[in-house]
Amino acid sequence: MSVLSESLCLHKTVKKHYLSLAKDAECLVTYVWIDKTGESVLSKTKTLNKEPAGIKDIPEWSAGWMIDGYSIEVTLVPVRMFRDPFTLDPNKLVLCEVFDSSYEPIGSNQHSKCAQVMEEVKEFQPWFGMEQEYTLFGLDGNPLGWPPQGYPFTRGMFFIVLFSGSCAVGINKVYGRDISICHYKACLYAGVKICGTNAESLPSQWEFQVGPCEGIEMGDHLWMARYILHHVCEDFGVVASLDAKPIKDQNGTSGCHTNFSTKKMRSEGGLQFIKEAIRRLGKRHFQHLRVYDPHGGADNMSRLTSSQGSTSSFNDFSTATACRNVSVRIPGHVSQNGRGYFEDRRPAANCDPYMVTRALVETCLLGSTGEDDDDDEKIMAP
């Protein structure tokens, strides 16, 4: 291990002293925003004279933004506030959108456009739940807990790891549970609507679920959950990757399965509305794939190969009940009850939740019901 990586792994108990220092009425507010790649988040912190009662009490702030090698000034506009699980009450985390000098959303920031669409469909009461998969890596570039030589493992405990499957338990099958649980607790403290977590099929791969969230809050809560994940991983000296294909020469992939329902779908006889929504999704399969990862579908091409039991084909839309290797799944209990939700299994782990949820409501709730609307691609335009 290098000197640099050793220094990053030092115990952070000394931090407790500084967090325990007496303070006056001041409040630390950490501004969090999406970077121009649409995959990562940035942050910086300022002092307010008192604890904000709501989002309107948090002022806008400025930040630098690189465009074609030049730095410009942009405005950070607060959109949702959370408690800070790292510096504790009364301090806050605030999710922001980024605006340029003309006060227009800049770069990959999709909050405003998503919020506009969600306002159009609010009478449908759209609910979402997103299942975020991620993979933990050490600073040496290897997945957490894997031997330096990496895969393939051929004997003993490491052979078991290859086929451990999701929800596994045991040191010979999963690595990083402390990180998963600490992230879970931090999200609960912050007020993020996290509702579960589990180990995934690759060792050092995990998943957490956020929801149900209505409308625009889905994107807000998932982005803040991602920020908290990266911050927790800083404390543990590891890296959380949202790469859709985290290990290029292995079968494992990472997705962000998205559950969706409306008031009619959740009500008696809702299965007919679920099936109609899925029919519409099938007609716009490739339009959705273009916005289900930040690289216009390129990440999902390597992920949706249908070569595993948990992924569908990139080229063909498919749907079934109680089946996990399809594009869109109707859970078995939903079919039995005749109402509920469906699961779109195509979004990649590094998707933008604003883009995914917006695309779903535009197709399922605002799209034409005709059979000749395959060329209606504008609804998914960024």
Task: Give the pLDDT score at 372.
Answer: 42
Could you tell me if 89 and 130 lie in one domain? no
Say if 103 falls within a structural domain. yes
Report how far residue 80's alpha carbon sits from residue 351's, in angstroms, rounded to the nearest whole number: 20
Total tally of structural domains belonging to the chain? 2
Element (H, E) at 72: strand 70-83
Is residue 330 within 8 A of residue 82, CB to CB? The reply is no
Give 67-76 contacts, CB < 8 A, sequence gap 24+: 72/100, 72/101, 73/101, 74/98, 74/99, 74/100, 74/101, 74/106, 75/99, 75/100, 75/103, 76/31, 76/33
- Structural domain ending residue among the three candidates 75, 108, 141: 108
Q: What percent of the chain is modeled with pLDDT above 70?
A: 87
With tokens 């990053």, the residue in question is 8
* Whether the predicted pLDDT of 373 surpasses 50: no
CATH of the domain at 203: 3.30.590.10
Could you tell me if 221 and 349 lie in one domain? yes
* DSSP letter assigned to residue 379: G
Is residue 221 within 8 A of residue 213, CB to CB? The reply is yes
Say if 114 falls within a structural domain. no
Tell me phi and psi for residue 321, to 5 degrees.
Answer: -95, 135
* Whether the predicted pLDDT of 25 surpasses 90: no
Could you tell me if 77 and 149 lie in one domain? no
Longest CA–CA span in the chain (Å) reads 66
* Whether the predicted pLDDT of 158 surpasses 80: no
Is residue 260 within 8 A of residue 248, CB to CB? The reply is no
Task: Give the pLDDT score at 156.
Answer: 43
* Bridge partners, 209 (sequence order): 131, 196
Residue 197's Cβ-side half-sphere holds a number of Cα atoms within 13 Å equal to 21
Tell me phi and psi for residue 76, to 5 degrees.
Answer: -90, 120
Residue 245's Cβ-side half-sphere holds a number of Cα atoms within 13 Å equal to 14
| C-alpha to C-alpha distances, 18 to 23, 25, 26, 83, 275, nearest whole angstrom | 11, 17, 15, 19, 56
Q: What is the pLDDT of residues 281-302, one digit of tens each?
A: 999 999 999 999 999 999 999 9
- Structural domain ending residue among the three candidates 83, 108, 133: 108
- Domain of 30 in residue numbering reads as 3-108
Could you tell me if 58 and 164 lie in one domain? no
Q: What is the pLDDT of residues 121-146, one digit of tens each?
A: 999 999 999 999 999 999 888 899 88
Task: Give the pLDDT score at 374.
Answer: 45
Say if 170 falls within a structural domain. yes
Q: What is the pLDDT of residues 343-366, one digit of tens each?
A: 999 999 999 999 999 999 999 999
CATH of the domain at 75: 3.10.20.70
Could you tell me if 228 and 303 lie in one domain? yes
The overall pTM is greater than 0.85: yes
Mode of pairing for the β-strands spanning 92-99 and 256-261: unpaired
**Sign of the alpha-carbon torsion through 116, 32, 296, 229:** negative
* Whether the predicted pLDDT of 117 surpasses 90: yes
Could you tell me if 10 and 29 lie in one domain? yes
Could you tell me if 44 and 7 lie in one domain? yes
Token representation of residue 151: 């895969």
- Structural domain ending residue among the three candidates 74, 108, 142: 108
Report how far residue 265's alpha carbon sits from residue 318's, in angstroms, rounded to the nearest whole number: 20
* Whether the predicted pLDDT of 249 surpasses 80: no
Token representation of residue 22: 């007496």
Q: Kindly report the CA angle at 269 between 263 and 270, in degrees rounded to 5? A: 40
Q: Kindly report the CA angle at 206 between 45 and 110, in degrees rounded to 5? A: 50
Could you tell me if 99 and 24 lie in one domain? yes
Q: What band does 8 get if pLDDT is binned at 50, 70 and 90? A: low
